[in-house]
Structure 1
Amino acid sequence: MRTIGRSGIQPFIVCALSFAVPFAVPSANGQTPVTPSADARPKAASEAPTSSSEIEQLRKMILEQQRQIDDLKRTMADQKSNDSTVAAKPDISVPPTTSRGIGQIASTTPILPPLPAVTTLATPLPVPQAAASAATTAANPCEADPDKTIPTFLRLGSICLVPIGFMDFTPFWRDKNAASSMGSNFGGVPYNNSAAGNLSEFHFSQQNSRLGFRIDGNWKGAHFIGYNEFDFNGTSGSTSLAVSNGAIVPRLRLYWADVRKGKVEFLAGQSWSMLVPNRNGISALPGDLFYSQVVDINYIAGLTWTRQPGLRILYHPSKKVTFGFSVEQPDQYIGGSAGGQLITLPSALSGLASTQLDAAANISGASYLGQPGFTPDFIAKLAFDYPRVHFEVAGIESNFKTTSLTAPWVSHTTQGAGLLVGLNVAVTKNVRLISNNFYSDGEGRYLFGQAPDLIVRADGSLSGVHASSTIEGFEARMNKNNLLLYGYYSAIYIGRNAAFDANGTSRIGYGVAANSQNRVINEGTFGFNQTIWSNARYGGINLMGQYEYLERSPWTISAGNPKQTHDNTIYFNIRYTLPGGMPNF
């Protein structure tokens, strides 16, 4: 009979621990040993003491291993029980421990205390599945427990904070060299008989990427929100952005705080103007505003918008009705921004530009508020919200003032006013129709600066320039809301306001300069936004595309020049959006 030597002990232990069959002892050659017969026993009598000693040692080791396995099972069960109750009642009275594996929180994965040292086995034991899962999770310190609901916000004191933003990579092409970077130059499309009109352009851009945060909290029944957002379209002093370093700079977009208690709401800071059309109520949150779904960072021609400092107060008499009143940053604008054309000033009063009137030369922080503001702009809005309909009416009033350049000091004032009517209707569950219409005298600045607010006559008096716009479009969600299709037609009309200079022959004002001061700007655009992948824990990836047709027609055409010009633009965009979401208050 063969005895169980040392070479047979280790496989025996492995099988015993793996299958918990303490008496199923394999032989050295992997076969099950046969019980010796009575005739064979006398021949092994001389080996009995050695075999008995080894078997006794083996039995003790098996019992010790079984005890440790039982302890391990109890520890894991206790840990699982503690995990199920820690969210409801966190234990803050846990005493200090000398174990380096306890109390050092790197993830929410349960960590077991170290066990006493045991005899090393030549063949490793099978790893329990729960322990294997914990090891896999621990290998990724950012991974959350897949079986638990993970908050999509951060706790900071008694507030909730959500990082917001996305990373954009945008290739775009134009059939004319508009020299306007990624955004469209609505009012400055080059003519075909110019060099720029015979050059196309292709670029990549990351400038529309966003970073920011949102803060929510409740204090004594008041819900407050803090909102901050940057993009990378800031003005840089570098001359080598496209040459070598690509060092685009951040630009402040939004920075405001809002508090609501009961039916009253108050907001202060830099936000989207209250003249921006809403999708819902009179909220300043970007998701509740309509500024289209396009990739173009200048949005669409005819949209009424600014982002500027202001104060607003809202009153909510019911869930369906909201009334708002705001005072916002004024600006005495005479053209020159984003393709908008400058007025023609009287020769004796050309010094008003950039000193008392904004000719869009204030591109640095030092000259940001270089022109005077007579009073804030005053905006009132009334919004109605029903299950399928959002309807709103808004009005704006502005005041302008200049004085003569030399003594005796003579001042001149005028007013601007405008009316916005907006409608957003869900004709089906997934299809919405949009109509926003604006009519004004002296409020062209709010049309992305495509029209001036006013002109100056030869005697120094001021007169508002008429400007109006329309946006008509649709937005449709398909494929379980993973695909968004949209299309818009929009237009801007700028009225002629002309006068004669002091010599009685030269024309001044708006609508007199050849080939530049626009009468009509038309845009037709359509596009898509396809969600490629989305996960609440990781964020989402979207593929976007947009086609845009622009056309502009000036008031005056010089001999030999076309009556209008147009531009075609194609955008593609790949976007990664950060995960995050606010809790329900």
Structure 2
Amino acid sequence: MLNVASPAQAQSASEQRMEARLDALMNEVAELKQEMRAQKRQTQHVLAHVRMAETAPVLAGPVVKGPGPYVPPQPWDKKFHLFGITLTPGGFIEAAGVWRSRGDSTGLDTNWNGIPMGNLPLSHTNELRFDARQSRFSLLAQGNVNPALLISGYSEFDFLAAAGTANQTDSNSYTPRVRNLYVTADWMDTGWSLLAGQSWTLATTNGEGIKPRTEIFAPFIDANFIPGSVWARQPGVRVTKTFGEFTAAVSAEQPETTFAPACPGIGTYGSIGNGVSVYCQQAGTHFFNGATNYSLNRIPDILAKVAWDPRIADRNMHFEAFGLYSDLYDRVEYAGNNFASKDTTGWGVGGSVIVPILPKWLDFQANAMTGRGIGRYGVSTLPTATFNPDGSLSPIPETIALAFLTLHATPQIDLWAAAGIEHEYGDYFLGGTVNGPGSPLANNTGCNIETAAASTCNGITKDIWQLTGGVWDRVYQGDFGSLRVGLQYSYTQRELFAGSGGLPAGSAPLGAKTNDNILLTSLRYYPFQ
């Protein structure tokens, strides 16, 4: 007998099936919620690690030998990121050599004001040196405190220094040297910037506005630049403001004074004749170099500069003008135990220009500076001061100038040529025991006579000029840095002020000059460029 379910029974079975499906769906939803919670925790964990290493270097994997062409490992972005701070390494490793027609007893840094006269044995000897100490390394640390404020710290070192144990015989024992070590704060929304620490002087030419690390020089190899370059690296504080194409800055920088003739009062009073004695230098103590004499200073060098970066036709150009105020300071003793401190004002004005004569092909750059007491801002470090009859310091007049061209002959090869000069003008008084620049009492009679005891040659350098040029070849430029080979030749002439010293009455003043031919080579590897 066939049993047929009643409508009530069929409805009950259908409801049971729906409840079973609903229970299953609820279980699936609960499981999905648990999985989503676990996935969210995992995602947050991964994102936290991603933020800590946003662009961390992709480490190169092992090289696997096998069939097919060699595929090099992928390089990283050459920056490190650590909790919001970006670290950018820089610098190069160099193997360099120098040959000079006259001995200088230096490495790659030619002593322009020490090119020997004919009375010295070095003037009659050649000189060959190999050197790796111009190699340098740098590190830039940057952090955005907020979208408008960027704080940076920059350090740069090389090895062009010598400790007390340095030598060329066994372990060398040369020491690292501070080039730049400063902090900057940039308020991008207002155009204001602050720099504090050791950096290039404000008088150095910038390539863009007055921004740190945009300083522009001729592509020389000689570690002592080219005569006519305007520069210094010294501690100071600088404030900068940008106004569109214009930038203005003012700085207070470390002062220092050098003397011609040498200061007779070092650590005590020394006579300049005329019944006057001066005290103007003191040997270094504590953390200063005990083998160096430091001048008396009480007011920083004050510099101000304006830069203009216009685009004229299809050329981006750069122009600068700057001024310098310095205070020259010493202590004077007069007859009868009378003492006084003396201040004299030094000053300088200058500027520079960068013009692409043929964009991407031929660039022109020039700088110049003139004033009184500016000798140490030139690479020849000619003296900044001599003495007045009353014992006060007299800033020596000087003009510094340099111009150079760079031809980008190919994407790999640059050819360049430069001419520079540093010229001082006479500044002396008669009747004392000091012979300042240009004094007719300077005895130059032996400047060109070599003797075992070195003949008398007392003249002070009047000018140093140089013609130079060279080539740089980027042998390799790619993801793994840049390998460059350079060659430089220079001809330099050093001339003294004329003197008389012992010449017969009525004879013309006797001057003296010397010259040096220098050939330099360089192989540099820039791993971070």
TM bucket (normalised to shorter chain) is: 0.7 to 0.9
What residue is the counterpart of 2:3 in the other structure?
A: none
Aligned pair count reads 436
In structure 1, give the amino acid aligned to 2:296: P
What residue is the counterpart of 1:432 in the other structure?
A: 363
Residue 311 of structure 1 and its aligned partner are, at CA, apart by 0.4
Match of 1:567 among 488, 512, 516: 516
Residue 561 of structure 1 and its aligned partner are, at CA, apart by 7.6
What residue is the counterpart of 1:556 in the other structure?
A: 498
Q: TM-score, normalised by structure 2?
A: 0.76
Q: How does 1:50-61 map to 2 (within 5 A)?
A: none
Q: How does 1:145-294 map to 2 (within 5 A)?
A: 146=74, 150-220=76-146, 221-238=148-165, 241-261=167-187, 262=189, 263-285=191-213, 288-294=214-220
Q: Is the 8 A contact 2:256 2:297 kept in 1?
A: yes
Residue 410 of structure 1 and its aligned partner are, at CA, apart by 1.2
1:546 aligns with 2:488: yes
CA gap of 1:303–1:362, structure 2 versus 1, over 3 A, is farther
In structure 1, give the amino acid aligned to 2:102: K
Residue 473 of structure 1 and its aligned partner are, at CA, apart by 1.4
Match of 1:510 among 419, 424, 437: 437
Q: Is the 8 A contact 1:108 1:144 kept in 2?
A: no
| 2: CA distance, partners of 1:554 / 1:172 | 25
What residue is the counterpart of 2:46 in the other structure?
A: 91
What residue is the counterpart of 1:310 in the other structure?
A: 236
Equivalent residue of 1:91, what SS? helix
Q: How does 1:401-416 map to 2 (within 5 A)?
A: 401-405=329-333, 407-416=337-346
| 2: CA distance, partners of 1:444 / 1:362 | 27
In structure 1, give the amino acid aligned to 2:515: H
Equivalent residue of 1:445, what SS? helix
CA gap of 1:397–1:456, structure 2 versus 1, over 3 A, is same
Residue 321 of structure 1 and its aligned partner are, at CA, apart by 0.8
CA gap of 1:378–1:108, structure 2 versus 1, over 3 A, is closer
Q: Normalized per residue, which structure has more helix? A: 1
| 1: CA distance, partners of 2:212 / 2:226 | 19
In structure 2, give the amino acid aligned to 1:508: N
What residue is the counterpart of 1:522 in the other structure?
A: 465
What residue is the counterpart of 1:373 in the other structure?
A: 297
Q: Is the 8 A contact 1:362 1:370 kept in 2?
A: no
Q: Is the 8 A contact 1:153 1:160 kept in 2?
A: yes
| 1: CA distance, partners of 2:86 / 2:407 | 33
What residue is the counterpart of 2:409 in the other structure?
A: 478
| 1: CA distance, partners of 2:63 / 2:394 | 75
Equivalent residue of 1:242, what SS? coil
What residue is the counterpart of 2:310 in the other structure?
A: 386
1:577 aligns with 2:526: yes
CA RMSD of aligned residues (A): 3.0
| 1: CA distance, partners of 2:57 / 2:317 | 49
CA gap of 1:217–1:92, structure 2 versus 1, over 3 A, is closer
Residue 235 of structure 1 and its aligned partner are, at CA, apart by 2.6
In structure 1, give the amino acid aligned to 2:246: V
| 1: CA distance, partners of 2:178 / 2:318 | 29
Structure 1: state its 5+ residue gaps: 1-87, 95-104, 110-132, 138-142, 336-340, 581-585
Cα deviations by residue, 1:463-507 (Å, 9 ceiling, x for unpaired)? 211011111110121212x111111000111011010244xxx55
Query: Greater CA deviation, 550-559 or 567-576?
Result: 550-559
Residue 391 of structure 1 and its aligned partner are, at CA, apart by 0.5
Q: How does 1:59-74 map to 2 (within 5 A)?
A: none
1:469 aligns with 2:397: no
Q: Is the 8 A contact 1:546 1:572 kept in 2?
A: yes
| 2: CA distance, partners of 1:569 / 1:322 | 39
Q: TM-score, normalised by structure 1?
A: 0.69
Query: Greater CA deviation, 222-231 or 190-199?
Result: 190-199
| 2: CA distance, partners of 1:190 / 1:206 | 25
Q: Normalized per residue, which structure has more strand? A: 2
CA gap of 1:394–1:90, structure 2 versus 1, over 3 A, is farther
Q: Is the 8 A contact 1:494 1:520 kept in 2?
A: yes
